[in-house]
Amino acid sequence: MSSVGATVNALFGRLSTASSTPLVKWMLQMLALSHALAPAGWPAAYKLKDGDRFDFIVVGAGAAGAALAARLSEQPRCSVLLLEAGADPPPASVIPSMFGVLGHTKYDWDYLAALDEGTGMSKENRSIFMTRGKMLGGSSSLNYLMYSRGDPDDFDEWAERAPGWDWNTVLHYYKKLEGMQDPVVMRSKGAFLHSKDGPVKISRPKQNRFFREVNERLMDSLEELGVPRVLENNGMDRLGVSPPHYFFHNGRRSSTAEAYLVPAAKRPNLFVAKNAHVNRVLIDRYTNQAFGVEVRLKNNKNIFVHTNKEVILSGGAINTPKILMLSGIGPEFELDELGIDAIVDLPVGKNLQEHAVVPVMFAGQQGLQSAVQYLYTAAELDAFPAPMQFGLFNLNHSMPGFPNTSRPMFQFFSTYIGAGASLFSYVGCRAVVNFEDEFCTSVATLNAMKDINLIALILLHPLSRGEVKLRSSNPADDPIINLGFFRRKEDLDALTEAYKYMLGLAKTSRFRQEGVRVPRLRVKGCDNLKWGSDRYWECFVRSTAGSMFHPVGTCPMGRDGVVDERLRVHGVSGLRVADASVMPTITSGNTNAPCIMIGERAADLIKSDHGLSDNDNT
Ligand SMILES: Cc1cc2nc3c(=O)[nH]c(=O)nc-3n(C[C@H](O)[C@H](O)[C@H](O)COP(=O)(O)OP(=O)(O)OC[C@H]3O[C@@H](n4cnc5c(N)ncnc54)[C@H](O)[C@@H]3O)c2cc1C
């Protein structure tokens, strides 16, 4: 960080601990803004030349890739090239409250994902926005900031297919990455699960009185429903509800660009090339050895860059399989059809997993007094700009078809939108989650006079699988993505069951006292069914299910997968994958922290394999 940034940071930290008088609060807002606008100290752009040669080439400076490249470059004996298709994050990425504005801009790959017939009827063109960050930090620079590491059982399940990814091993990396700034957590009995010293700063900022009251009211109601309060969802007792922890601190987003690349910016052996789009990996057809990459520069010129040791793909769960397939690694018959010579026949792009999310809505009090929320929201530049609760729960451990484990089966985010916010709810409904006009109009009409309690309900462990395929052999074409929601009926049954459970909130005492009810919305494909019947809610779930922006698993670890447990692509030497695509199964929560953890562990595996480790325990 620049010295201006560092000074502002120190001042900000001191003020944050001061009492929250209106003047101090106002000063904090102004500092947040100036802080975000101050020179960030992003690494300078390296001017890439045809024929350049490096020890390691990392493709994609995202959640995993930025962490990986920075850690590799700690070893001064090796040169590391980090290739990123985007450039520096804008101030709107740095300011926490502006997380929602970067979708559909040049900072987003702006993909669309398809759904099968019979699902997604309330989505415009039955498709789903698949936002992906395109800048230093990747999706960690535009995501919704929620910090969630997953359940220990998730990783023990990974380890059955990929030894060395069990909970005890990955916990080491979670602690290595984590800079937990919440003193309550660090004083709790679960403090041993955390670290305050890692580069990724995590906090749970104090909320204003209005947000606190909303939180308390909703958490009381959830408790009455049977979802207990817990201290945090990354601690010892994870099942329950709590205010979330966030990837920000002192008014700045803690993306991996901020946490890893800024501190490494001046290293002479780290070269960061921006606006550098990797088309394919160069592989020797006789030896199956990866020896470099083809890169398209901003001026549309293609050049070749070479490696002495390895290429590591960290382009994320959509773009990494695309690059592999363009390089001749993927399902042979699909590559044949596109005229690409297959080098290795692997199930690249299959096994796509995503968290399906459905909106559970309650219409609350009438009255414009809640307009006060917007005054507060406008002032929360340096924080999450809405009241928010984060929850994990199970209905029972043995839902038909699902493995019997104690890990959470469902997640939810619960928030509150005050009456009179029709414009905001309509625009969000259309532009962020791609609902069609009729559905959004019914939400906006409701919101004109009524408060809305909105619960985003998520199925954590789908059995269904989607896929990523090439549209053509042209690297400039978007891939074809199908999320495959509800291909397995068990997923639909489980999410519908959870939906009906959540509707029970309307019967809790606080909701009843305030006359909260379940509203009728215009839901395409379901209006012919009896409103409120089981068949209606099942249809509602099929029609409204969207994406949490958590695609994973398209190049999974495992013998029958795409990479081995050291992340090496089967059948090719000098080529690894390190990002969301290597997850064999999706984790119990948001996926940013697991991706950073993958980047951290990948760095140790690679250092160890090349004799570059200081302490080798990999
Ligand atoms: C809108 C949104 C909200 C989200 N909210 C949350 C949240 O609240 N909490 C949470 O934990 N997770 C959240 N996530 C998910 C989380 O951010 C991702 O799972 C995670 O960041 C993925 O990490 P990755 O390293 O696999 O890929 P990414 O972080 O997406 O990084 C991939 C990088 O590779 C670059 N790249 C891709 N292709 C090429 C190419 N051909 N050449 C060069 N560079 C390339 C990209 O530009 C990008 O920088 C959200 C995601 C989105 C999009």
Atom of ligand 1 nearest to the CA of 322: 41
C-alpha angle 302/306/309, rounded to 5°?
150
Active site residue 277: no
Do residues 328 and 281 touch, judged by C-beta distance below 8 A? Answer: no
Judge if the beta carbon of residue 244 lies within 6 A of ligand 1.
Answer: no
Taking CA 254 as the corner, what is the angle to CA 360 and CA 56, rounded to the nearest 5 degrees?
115
Nearest CA, atom 47, ligand 1: 134
pLDDT band at 6 (very low <50, low <70, confident <90, very high): very low
CB 321 less than 6 A from any atom of ligand 1:
no
pLDDT at 144: 95
Mean pLDDT of 513-539: 94
Tell me which of 249, 550, 570, 610 is the catalytic residue: 550
Pocket test for ligand 1, best of 111, 591, 597, 598 (most atoms within 8 A of CB): 591
Residues in CB range of 489: below 8 A, 6 or more apart:
none
**Structure tokens, 357:** 């999310």
State the SS3 of 437-484. Answer: HHHHHHHHHHHHHEEEEEEEEEECCCCCCEEEECCCCCCCCCCEEECC
The DSSP bridge partners found for residue 363 are 452, 517
Binning pLDDT at 50, 70 and 90, where does residue 28 land?
low
Q: Is 588 in the pocket of ligand 1 (CB under 6 A)?
A: no
Q: SS3 of 10, please?
A: helix
> How many angstroms separate the alpha carbon of residue 299 from the centre of ligand 1?
25
In whole angstroms, give the CA distance from residue 598 to residue 65: 9
> Confidence band (pLDDT; 50, 70, 90) for 18?
very low
Q: Is the pLDDT of residue 616 over 80?
A: no
- Residue 292 β-bridge partners: 282, 306
Question: In the predicted model, is pLDDT for residue 374 greater than 80?
Answer: no
User: Would you give the DSSP letter of residue 190?
Assistant: T
Ligand 1 in contact with 146 (CB < 6 A)? yes
Does the beta carbon of 355 sit less than 6 angstroms from any atom of ligand 1? no
Cα torsion 486, 395, 351, 488: sign: negative
Task: Report pLDDT digits (tens) over 160-209.
Answer: 999 999 999 999 999 999 999 999 999 999 999 999 999 999 999 877 77
**Residue 518 assigned as binding residue:** no
Q: Where are the alpha helices (DSSP H) in 105-164?
A: 152-161
Q: Read off the amino acid at residue 136.
A: L
Q: Which atom of ligand 1 is nearest to the CA of 147?
A: 11
Contact 190, 175 (CB under 8 A): no
Q: What is the mean pLDDT of residues 283-303?
A: 97
Q: What would the pLDDT profile of 214-256 be if each residue is shown by its tens digit?
A: 888 889 999 999 999 999 999 999 999 999 999 999 889 999 9
Q: How far is the CA of 308 from the centre of ligand 1 (A)?
A: 27
Output the pLDDT for position 386.
79
Q: What CA–CA distances, in Å, run from 301 to 49, 87, 277?
A: 11, 17, 10
The residue whose CA is least distant from atom 39 of ligand 1 is 315
Q: Which atom of ligand 1 is nearest to the CA of 60?
A: 34
Residues 243/231, Cβ–Cβ less than 8 Å: no
pLDDT for res 15: 46
- What separation in Å is there between the alpha carbon of 329 and the centre of ligand 1? 22
- Nearest Cα residue to atom 27 of ligand 1: 316
Q: Determine the number of helices (DSSP H) and then strands (DSSP E) in the chain.
A: 19, 23
Radius of gyration of the chain (CA): 24
Cβ of residue 420 lying under 6 Å from some atom of ligand 1: no
Å from CA of 591 to ligand 1 middle: 9
Put residue 517 in one of left, alpha, beta given phi > 0 → left and psi -120 to 50 → alpha.
beta
Would you say the CB of residue 586 lies under 6 angstroms from ligand 1?
no
Report CA-CA distances (Å) from 389 to 190, 415, 477: 20, 7, 39
Ligand 1: nearest atom to the Cα of 599: 25
Strand 240-242, strand 388-393: pairing: antiparallel
- For residue 416, the model assigns a pLDDT of 85
* pLDDT at residue 609 in the model: 97
Report whether residue 580 contacts ligand 1, using a CB cutoff of 6 Å: yes
Is the pLDDT assigned to residue 349 strictly greater than 50?
yes
For residues 259 and 245, give the distance between their C-alpha atoms in angstroms, rounded to a whole number: 17
| pLDDT classification of 399: cutoffs 50, 70, 90 | confident
Ligand 1: does its nearest atom lie under 6 Å from the Cβ of 73? no
To 10 degrees, what angle do helices 167-177 and 592-609 make?
100
DSSP 270-283: EEEE-S-EEEEEEE
Burial class of residue 474, CB neighbours in 10 A (0-12, 13-18, 19+): exposed
- Mean pLDDT, range 534-555, rounded to an integer: 97
**146 Cα to the center of ligand 1, angstroms:** 14
CA separation (Å) from 25 to 12, 143, 287, 541?
A: 11, 25, 63, 41
508 CA to middle of ligand 1, Å? 38
CB of 107 within 6 A of ligand 1: the answer is no
> Could you give the CA distance from residue 4 to residue 29 in angstroms, rounded to a whole number?
17
Tell me: the pLDDT tens digits for 553-586?
999 999 999 999 999 999 999 999 999 999 999 9
Contact (CB, 8 A) for 98 and 276:
no
pLDDT at 393: 92
- Indicate if the pLDDT at residue 368 is higher than 80: no
Q: Are 307 and 574 in contact (CB under 8 A)?
A: yes
Report how far ligand 1's centroid is from the alpha carbon of 65 (Å): 10
Q: Which two tokens stand for residue 307?
A: 């490696």
Which residue intervals of 147-289 are DSSP H helices? 152-161, 167-177, 183-186, 209-225, 256, 262-264
The pLDDT of 34-39, averaged and rounded, is: 65
* Average confidence (pLDDT) over 35-42: 74
Give the Cα separation of 526 and 541 in Å (integer): 10
Nearest CA to ligand 1 atom 31: 62
Atom number, ligand 1, closest to the C-alpha of residue 551: 19
Q: How far is the CA of 76 from the centre of ligand 1 (A)?
A: 28
pLDDT of residue 423: 87
Instruction: Give the total residue count for the chain.
Output: 618
* 138 Cβ below 6 A of ligand 1: yes
What is the per-residue pLDDT for 412? 96
At residue 145, the pLDDT reads 96
